[in-house]
């Protein structure tokens, strides 16, 4: 099954929600706004060069031998390919005079040697291209796989702070930029470096005076290339950030298309996106300008140098201090000497772009998950007899999110095994926070959450996910069939087991009416089902896992009243003997609970039975005021 992008909710994508509400296009003179958009992953854009290099080295890993082989191949290939002017020199200086003396052997030797060099160069070039493309593919696949696994392994906190669009952009356009480098860039960088070395050596051997002068001209060309690299890296960083911002904005808009249309945000969104696009265009133009400046200035220097050297060489030939053939060879080499590094400018484009992207990937990969698997997991106590529920304790729990505000402070709560608790209270009181702590989506800043006396941080993730199941308010259906979605956590479940789970939660009723039953494709994010039907499938999913503790985070709020009543009995069956924390917004939902807790400002202000709550008797007026919803 393929996961699809979740709909953003204000709490889950706070960063990405911001541009949606901001009508003003980000203008070209608004670098801070861009930086904010670029930093929608929350990371600084610059990483140490070392981190990018280390990342590249580790992705190349076992393929380093292939890389060395490619270097050897390109060394030989360049030796063969660059031999041409030497043959011209030998032909003019030796073979032609020998032919004048009726000796054709030197010319034949030169012709055969040249032919061999051409063939060897072609074969080696083919080999080099294949090797570099293979290495490139390995790097790209390795990076993408690593990014996917890394982002997926991050804690919920990480995802709450970042837009899914920007994360997707890292794994797609940034990895593609790295691929661009390996596609053609590496080939040209290596050949340019190798040919530079060869030509310089041969020039010095042919004539040290002209050779040294030619090399001296390389200094300003090199300096111009260095300053281009420095300037363009900044531009490429900004360009990549602008691309990510535009991609993130587009993905978020489409993910929230219903809200966009319901609130007529199309025009405002068009303006905002046009601003982001404009910014991207501007950065692209800036990159092209840098490139143009570099190419024209360095070509000018090189061409003036070539003209001077050609004139000087001609003067020496005329004065008899340089052989004509040597002069011809040097002139031919001169063009290549400057041409290759100048062409490197074009490759630097790909190189800089890849370097900027690699930096961003390295920064993302350096983030450690905040919720980590214990190094030495503690086993959960074996459950006695047929019992399934486990005791839950919140002990002196304090939790502050990243903004530092404490949502819970020294919070204590004991839930005996098998008890169902309904948690109610005003918005922002901390109900979902308690649920997230129990599912270990977050760890407490201090204090402990215990399952049968064992701190959640000491329990292996496999035991924890098998023991505690959370059904969020909006359940997510992945592309695939209904059966596959129910069996999400137990792909080995038989169809009979899947059916029993659906029957237990009341999902079977509507699944049975579908033409393809359990084999029905759920469509994009389960879009062909109502929110309530999606939620019933999600409940069946949990039933199949058979956890000891179930957390329903307003999971029944989207189920319509008649079907909620219908599933209430089923829910009772699902929750029976299990420990359950049910966040409820409807009085009808709390009927299934043994105990009701009213939570406000991170504190329990009422601990009573459902009967006490609904009877209006015995409860302080304050509690009744805090109970905002009603079925009637």
Which spans of this chain sit near ligand ATP (rule: CB under 6 A)? 11, 160, 401-403, 407, 425, 427-433
Cβ neighbours for 523, distance < 8 A, ≥ 6 positions apart: 479, 529
Q: Shortest Cβ distance from residue 372 to ligand ATP (Å)?
A: 18
- Distance from C-alpha of 591 to C-alpha of 420, rounded to nearest angstrom: 10
**What are the backbone angles phi and psi of residue 45, rounded to the nearest 5°?**
-70, -35
Minimum gap (Å) between residue 31 Cβ and ligand ATP: 27
Nearer to ligand ATP, 427 or 515 (CB): 427
Cα dihedral value 277, 283, 286, 288, nearest 10: -80
Compare residues 413 and 483 and give the one whose CB is closer to ligand ATP: 413
| Residue with token string 């958009």 | 37
* 150 or 431: CB nearest ligand ATP: 431
3-class SS of residue 74: helix
Q: Smallest distance, Å, CB 429 to ligand ATP?
A: 4
- Given a contact cutoff of 8 angstroms between Cβ atoms, the answer to whether 309 and 214 are in contact is yes
95 versus 599: smaller Cβ distance to ligand ATP: 599
In the complex with ligand ATP, which residue's Cβ is closer, 233 or 549?
549
In the complex, what is the shortest distance from the CB of residue 11 to ligand ATP, in angstroms, rounded to a whole number?
Answer: 5
Q: What is the DSSP string of 538-570?
A: HHHHHHHH--SEEEEESTTTTS-HHHHHHHHHH
Q: How far is the CB of 433 from ligand ATP (least distance, A)?
A: 3
Helices marked H in 421-467 — which ranges?
431-438, 461-467
Asked whether the beta carbons of 585 and 561 are under 8 A apart, the reply is: no
Of the two residues 401 and 510, which places its CB atom closer to ligand ATP in the complex?
A: 401
Residue 491 DSSP class? T
Whole-number minimum distance, CB 155 to ligand ATP, in Å? 11
Whole-angstrom Cα distance, residue 539 to residue 556? 9
Backbone φ, ψ for residue 413 (5° rounding): -160, 135
Could you list the beta-strand ranges (E) of 284-385: none
Q: Which of 394, 483, 349 is nearest to 1 (CA)?
A: 483
| Cβ proximity to ligand ATP, 403 vs 496, nearer residue | 403
CB of 554 to ligand ATP, least distance (A): 7
- How many whole angstroms separate alpha carbon 18 and alpha carbon 67? 45
CB of 558 to ligand ATP, least distance (A): 13
Closest CA to 547 of 521, 511, 578, 516: 578
Tell the smallest beta-carbon distance from residue 424 to ligand ATP (Å): 9
Q: Which two tokens stand for residue 21?
A: 């509400």
Minimum Å gap between C-beta 482 and ligand ATP is 28
**Three-class SS state of 500:** helix
Containing 415, the helix (H) or strand (E) segment is strand 406-415
For residue 524, CA distances in Å to 148, 513, 562, 563 come to 21, 20, 27, 24
Paired tokens of 87: 């043959």
534 Cβ contact list (under 8 Å, min separation 6): 475, 477, 526, 558
Shortest gap between Cβ of 157 and ligand ATP (angstroms)? 6
Q: Report the DSSP pairing between strands 392-400 and 446-451.
A: antiparallel
- Closer CB to ligand ATP, 196 or 597, in the complex: 597
Which is nearer to ligand ATP, 402 or 622 (by Cβ)?
A: 402
Nearest to ligand ATP of 330, 559 (CB atom)? 559
CB closer to ligand ATP out of 326 and 432: 432
């Amino acid at each position: 099954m393929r996961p699809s992008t979740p709909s953003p909710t204000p709490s889950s994508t706070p960063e990405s929600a911001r541009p949606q509400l901001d009508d003003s296009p980000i203008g070209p003179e608004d670098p801070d706004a861009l930086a904010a958009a670029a930093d929608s992953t929350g990371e600084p854009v610059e990483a140490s060069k070392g981190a990018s290099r280390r990342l590249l080295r580790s992705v190349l890993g076992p393929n380093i031998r292939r890389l060395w082989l490619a270097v050897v191949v390109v060394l030989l290939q360049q030796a063969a390919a660059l031999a041409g002017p030497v043959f011209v020199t030998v032909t003019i200086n030796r073979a032609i005079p020998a032919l004048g003396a009726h000796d054709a052997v030197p010319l034949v030797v030169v012709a055969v040697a040249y032919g061999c060099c051409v063939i060897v160069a072609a074969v080696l070039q083919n080999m080099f291209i294949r090797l570099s493309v293979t290495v490139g593919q390995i790097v790209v696949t390795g990076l993408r796989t690593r990014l996917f696994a890394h982002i997926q392994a991050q804690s919920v906190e990480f995802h709450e702070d970042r837009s899914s669009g920007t994360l997707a952009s890292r794994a797609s356009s940034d990895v593609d930029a790295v691929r661009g480098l390996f596609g053609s860039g590496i080939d040209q960088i290596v050949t340019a470096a190798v040919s530079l070395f060869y030509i310089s050596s041969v020039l010095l051997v042919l004539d040290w005076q002209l050779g040294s002068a030619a090399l001296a001209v390389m200094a300003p060309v090199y300096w111009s290339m260095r300053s281009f690299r420095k300037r363009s890296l900044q531009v490429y960083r900004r360009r990549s950030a602008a691309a990510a911002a535009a991609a993130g904005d587009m993905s978020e808009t489409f993910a929230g298309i219903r809200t966009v249309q319901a609130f007529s945000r199309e025009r405002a969104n068009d303006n905002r996106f046009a601003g982001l696009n404009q910014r991207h265009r501007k950065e692209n133009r800036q990159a092209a300008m840098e490139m143009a400046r570099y190419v024209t200035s360095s070509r000018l220097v090189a061409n003036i140098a070539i003209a001077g050297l050609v004139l000087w060489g001609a003067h020496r030939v005329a004065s008899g201090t340089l052989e004509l053939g040597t002069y011809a060879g040097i002139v031919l080499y001169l063009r290549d000497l400057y041409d290759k590094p100048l062409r490197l400018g074009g490759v630097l484009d790909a190189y800089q772009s890849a370097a900027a992207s690699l930096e961003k990937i390295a920064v993302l990969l350096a983030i450690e998950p905040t919720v980590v698997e214990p190094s030495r997991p503690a086993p959960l106590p074996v459950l006695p007899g047929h019992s399934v529920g486990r005791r839950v304790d919140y002990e002196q729990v304090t939790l502050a999110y990243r903004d530092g505000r404490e949502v819970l402070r020294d919070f204590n709560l004991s839930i005996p095994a098998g008890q169902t608790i309904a948690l109610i209270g005003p918005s922002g009181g901390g109900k979902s926070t308690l649920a997230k702590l129990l599912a270990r989506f977050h760890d407490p800043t201090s204090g402990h959450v215990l399952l049968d006396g064992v701190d959640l941080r000491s329990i292996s993730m496999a035991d924890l996910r098998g023991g505690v199941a959370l059904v969020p308010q909006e359940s997510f259906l992945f592309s695939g069939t209904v059966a596959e979605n129910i069996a999400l956590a137990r792909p080995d479940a038989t169809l009979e087991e899947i059916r029993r789970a659906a029957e237990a939660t009341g999902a079977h009723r509507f699944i049975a009416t579908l033409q393809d039953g359990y084999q029905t494709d759920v469509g994009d994010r389960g879009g062909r089902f109502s929110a309530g039907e999606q939620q019933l499938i999600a409940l069946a999913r949990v039933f199949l896992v058979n956890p000891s503790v179930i957390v329903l985070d307003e999971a029944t709020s989207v189920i319509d009243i008649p079907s909620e009543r219908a599933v209430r009995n089923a829910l009772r069956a699902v929750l029976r003997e299990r420990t359950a924390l049910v966040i409820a917004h409807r009085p009808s939902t709390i009927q299934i609970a043994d105990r009701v807790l009213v939570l406000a400002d991170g504190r329990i202000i009422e601990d009573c039975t459902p009967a006490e709550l609904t009877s209006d008797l015995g409860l302080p007026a304050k509690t009744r005021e805090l109970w905002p919803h009603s079925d009637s």
